[in-house]
Chain A
Amino acid sequence: MTLGSFLDMGGYAFYVWTSYGITTAVLLFNLLAPIVQRKQLLRQLALKQKRPQR
Chain B
Amino acid sequence: MSFIPAPISRFFHRTASPPHFYALANRFIPWLTVLFLLLLIPGLYGGLIMAPTDYQQGDSYRIIYIHVPAAWMSLFIYVLMAVMGGIALIWRMKLAEVMLISSAPIGAGFTFIALVTGSLWGKPMWGTWWVWDARLTSELILLFLYLGVISLHGAIEDKRNAARAVSILALVGVVNIPIIHYSVEWWNTLHQGPTVSKMDKPSIHISMLIPLLLMAVAFKVYYAIALLQAAKLELLKRESSAQWVKNLLEKTV
Nearest Cβ on chain B to A19's Cβ, whole angstroms: 4
One of B59, B113, B117 near A9 (C-beta < 8 A): B59
Report the nearest A residue to B240, measured CB to CB. A45
Cβ of A4 within 8 Å of any chain B Cβ, yes or no, is: no
User: For residues 116 through 164 of chain B, which have their beta carbon under 8 Å from a beta carbon of chain A?
Assistant: 116-117, 120-121, 123-124
B124 engages A15 (CB within 8 Å)? yes
For B196, list chain A residues within 8 Å (CB): none
One of B70, B123, B225, B233 near A15 (C-beta < 8 A): B123
- Digitize A15-27: 1 where CB-to-B-CB distance is under 8 Å, 0 elsewhere: 1101110110011
A41 engages B240 (CB within 8 Å)? yes
Cβ of B6 within 8 Å of any chain A Cβ, yes or no, is: no
Nearest Cβ on chain A to B52's Cβ, whole angstroms: 11
Contact-residue bracket for chain B: 35 or more
- Digitize B211-233: 1 where CB-to-A-CB distance is under 8 Å, 0 elsewhere: 00000000000100110011011
For B105, list chain A residues within 8 Å (CB): 30
For A49, list chain B residues within 8 Å (CB): 246, 249-250, 253
Interface SS of chain B: helix
Tell me, in angstroms, the Cα distance from A16 to B128 when the chains sit together: 16
Contact-residue bracket for chain A: 20 to 34
A10 engages B60 (CB within 8 Å)? yes
A46 engages B249 (CB within 8 Å)? yes
Beyond A10-B58, A34-B232: 4 further Cβ-contacts under 8 Å?
A: A19-B121, A27-B226, A37-B233, A41-B240
B233 engages A19 (CB within 8 Å)? no
Report the nearest B residue to A36, measured CB to CB. B233
Report which B residues bind A (CB closer than 8 A): 48-49, 53, 58-60, 62-63, 66-67, 70, 102, 105-106, 109, 112-113, 116-117, 120-121, 123-124, 222, 225-226, 229-230, 232-233, 236-237, 240, 245-246, 248-250, 252-253
Report which A residues bind B (CB closer than 8 A): 1, 6, 9-12, 15-16, 18-20, 22-23, 26-27, 29-31, 34-35, 37-38, 41-42, 45-46, 49-50
Tell me, in angstroms, the Cα distance from A35 to B236 when the chains sit together: 12
Report the nearest A residue to B117, measured CB to CB. A19
B233 engages A27 (CB within 8 Å)? no
Interface SS of chain A: helix
Among all A-B residue pairs, the 7 with the closest Cβ atoms: A10-B59, A12-B60, A19-B117, A9-B59, A10-B58, A34-B233, A34-B230
One of A11, A26, A34, A38 near B113 (C-beta < 8 A): A26
For A22, list chain B residues within 8 Å (CB): 113, 116-117
For A45, list chain B residues within 8 Å (CB): 236, 240, 245, 249
18 intermolecular pairs with C-beta atoms under 8 Å apart:
A10-B59, A10-B60, A16-B59, A19-B116, A19-B121, A22-B116, A22-B117, A27-B109, A27-B222, A27-B226, A30-B105, A31-B229, A34-B229, A45-B245, A45-B249, A46-B249, A46-B252, A49-B246
